[in-house]
Amino acid sequence: MSTAGSVGPARMRDGALRIQAFEDWLLRDALGAPTSGERPHGAWTVVGSFRGMGEGLDGLFRMLGAGTDDGVMFGECRIEQVRPLEHEREYVVRCEVLGATRRTGRRVPVFDVVEYVTEIVEQSAGPDGTATEVVAVRCHASMIVPRPEAAA
């Protein structure tokens, strides 16, 4: 992938995610969903990816070269649910910006499409003490980042 502006491949430090039952209740309530469930609501695949990023959404925006009030929008999101998430389990969250492509448009004259991947990872120790990792959820997503300074 090509890079645009100052956005190039970069990896965020690992973060952590633990979904508490009351947090799941809050998200379910926000969605108008049944407020109890055997497992966290499926929306946690996306919410948890953001929430658990090592440097948070603020950090992701910094990596995109944008501020939180610069009108950044979601572009696309491909979510793979390998294993459903569980309440009260500790996960590692990884985030890597893959790069950006500069585009032009009518409503937003110049913008970058920035692609990134997040993974919510289960870590456990095997019987022999060997650490194992399984990706539970992977999101390959893009953000639309307006670049008004490039349009001037």
Which residues are at the interface with another protein (CB under 8 A)? 23, 26-37, 39, 41-43, 45-47, 50-51, 56-58, 68-69, 71-81, 84
Of 14 and 23, nearer to another protein (C-beta) is: 23
Q: Are 17 and 24 in contact (CB under 8 A)?
A: no
Least Å distance between CB 149 and another protein? 16
Of 130 and 141, nearer to another protein (C-beta) is: 141
Least Å distance between CB 26 and another protein? 5
Q: Are 118 and 141 in contact (CB under 8 A)?
A: yes
Least Å distance between CB 64 and another protein? 13
Of 34 and 126, nearer to another protein (C-beta) is: 34
Of 31 and 134, nearer to another protein (C-beta) is: 31
CA distance 54 to 60: 9
Least Å distance between CB 119 and another protein? 14
| CB-based contacts of 115, cutoff 8 Å, min separation 6 | 1, 97, 98, 99, 100, 140, 141, 142
Exposure class string for 118-127: b at 16+ Cβ within 10 A, else e: bbbbbeeeee
